[in-house]
Structure 1
């Protein structure tokens, strides 16, 4: 009897215990577009977290946080998407540059490290993934911004200071 129970437990574990978590939810067209986008960048999808937000992109949104930072991290001009509905799809991925991220601090006890995974938010417009942002999966929330979908800062993407970027952004999207 013990052998049968152990055999069944071993079989059950081998079927379920080794796969990465993935939501049982069937992906809709937007989620599938986002997943394909992530995989085309070489990221391995660990889990699908669902649609985190749906909104219409406006100049007003682009002038306010957090949307100015989110869209400022894109390499493409967000003007193309003004007036369009944006469906933000959240995934946890691995094989991402932020998987090994850690903060800096003079005090070792204040250093925060990624847990080897990265949260990503993919912007889907008209069933096409058009960009996104990322953040390392960590144990505690931190103040500060987010990174581009490939783990770069706004300054790295635009090759200018944040202050200079804000001036350009205001000139373009301010009323």
Structure 2
């Protein structure tokens, strides 16, 4: 009888933790959606959670999806230092009413937006025109690395190498 109780208890705990984990992911995605809407963008579709990783310096040589992690973090207003050891979730959306629509000649199918969430807060993201033509990634609001950082790519790359590629 005790074995049956232990088995049912173990199953109940597993179900509760599984459900709690799904709620956390759903909450993070809601945070990402709310952020996008607060920027004035209209969500056309959602791809849900695309990536999940723990940020470490060693990961800067890897990619998230098809984008090098170094490039992603170069497009953020904040440096990655405060996020080392933290779990990063990336959610994908297709949106309209985004600044890239006005800037890009190949615009016709919306803008792909990738929102990064950590500990229930949007910490950044990146975007690009949603087209068959390969385009560069930009910040969440469509700015280049130079516009975000206020320095040339070469200056940023030297600083990056010094701080993160030792």
Q: Number of aligned pairs?
A: 139
Taking the aligned partners of 1:51 and 1:58, their CA distance within structure 2 comes to 20
Q: Which residue, out of 72, 75, 81, partners 2:77?
A: 75
More helix as a share of residues: 2
Q: How does 1:63-142 map to 2 (within 5 A)?
A: 63-64=61-62, 66-102=68-104, 113-138=106-131, 140-142=132-134
TM-score under structure 2 normalisation? Answer: 0.77
RMSD of aligned Cα (Å):
1.9
Structure-2 residue corresponding to 1:162: 153
Unpaired segments of 5 or more residues in structure 2?
Answer: 1-22
Q: Report the Cα offset of residue 41 of structure 1.
A: 1.2
The question of 1:42 aligning with 2:40 is answered yes
Please, what TM-score do these two structures have when normalized by structure 1?
0.73
Cα separation, 1, equivalents of 2:143 and 2:85: 27
Q: Is the 8 A contact 1:91 1:120 kept in 2?
A: yes
Per-residue deviation, 1:63: 4.8
Farther off after superposition, 58-67 or 124-133: 58-67
